[in-house]
């Protein structure tokens, strides 16, 4: 039998590398952060660890699922975690911010977004230009393999186009943007979320990785706690 693996920091249970999701208490009533890493990242991403460490000091558990899998599998995994943790808040970075917004739309779960991707179907076009200029592709053609071994297929672009964001629960979304983001168009992201009515903090300068995240995590957790 196969189980999904993810990592959890707990203020009560001593940390260990991995827990099976069957070890969680069903229908928890305490607040839990579900941290959604970005593309070419994993559950041990720098921002994930910083978030978990600081949340632990506030008595908040942090789940860090591995999202290096096809988008349908990501959605199924996150729906399961949200069901098991009804008081969860999603914290998503980059592509994780896209999925956090999508799951907030689907379930009403609050979400804090860090330099989120809003149109992966467009941003992933760079893989086509870099590697497949003029070639005929099928849905099963692998266009990029992430450092976490997710093989992105050409058909995934159609999935993301079909699942475009609406941010229909803007009161449950907080967005932190670095306007110096060198990978994603921060101005387009700001315009999208503000047009939906979400609260956006746009900071001058910075980068996509949010290198100063240790200085930003306090604001992120302030937002998380405000959703409780």
Domain ranges of the chain: 5-118+165-226, 120-164
- Which is the CATH superfamily of the domain at 5-118+165-226? Alpha/Beta hydrolase fold, catalytic domain (3.40.50.1820)
Map 31-45 to HEC letters.
Answer: CEEEEECCCCCCCCC
pLDDT at 108: 97
pLDDT at 129: 86
pTM of the model: 0.87
Nearest Cα residue to 77 out of 85, 114, 175: 85
* Weakly modelled stretches of the chain, pLDDT under 50: 1-5, 7-26
State pLDDT tens for residues 167-217: 999 999 999 999 999 999 999 999 999 999 999 999 999 999 999 999 999
SS3 127: helix
- 205 in Cβ contact with 182 (< 8 Å): no
Nearest Cα residue to 168 out of 100, 228, 102: 102
pLDDT at 71: 98
pLDDT at 29: 60
To the nearest 5 percent, what fractions of the chain are helix, strand and coil?
40, 20, 40
- 180 in Cβ contact with 117 (< 8 Å): no
- 112 in Cβ contact with 174 (< 8 Å): yes
CA angle 200, 224, 11 (to 5 degrees): 155
pLDDT at 15: 32
- 183 in Cβ contact with 171 (< 8 Å): no
């Amino acid at each position: 039998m196969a189980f999904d693996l993810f990592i959890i920091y707990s203020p009560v249970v001593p940390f260990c590398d991995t827990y099976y999701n069957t070890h969680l208490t069903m229908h928890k009533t305490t607040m839990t952060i579900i941290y959604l890493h970005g593309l070419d990242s994993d559950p041990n991403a720098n921002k994930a660890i910083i978030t978990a460490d600081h949340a632990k000091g506030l008595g908040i558990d942090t789940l860090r699922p591995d999202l290096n899998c096809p988008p349908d599998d990501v959605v199924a995994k996150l729906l399961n975690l949200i069901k098991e943790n009804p008081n969860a808040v999603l914290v998503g970075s980059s592509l994780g911010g896209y999925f956090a917004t999508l799951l907030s739309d689907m379930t009403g779960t609050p979400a804090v977004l860090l330099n989120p991707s809003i149109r992966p179907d467009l941003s992933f076009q760079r893989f086509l230009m870099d590697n497949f200029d003029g070639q005929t592709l099928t849905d099963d053609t692998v266009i990029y393999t992430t450092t976490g071994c997710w093989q992105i297929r050409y058909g995934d672009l159609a999935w993301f186009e079909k699942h475009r964001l609406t941010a229909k629960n803007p009161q449950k979304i907080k967005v932190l943007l670095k306007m110096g983001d060198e990978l994603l168009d921060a101005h387009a992201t700001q315009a999208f979320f503000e047009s939906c009515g979400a609260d956006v903090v746009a900071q001058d300068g910075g980068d996509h990785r949010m290198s100063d995240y240790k200085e930003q995590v306090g604001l992120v957790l302030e937002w998380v706690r405000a959703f409780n």
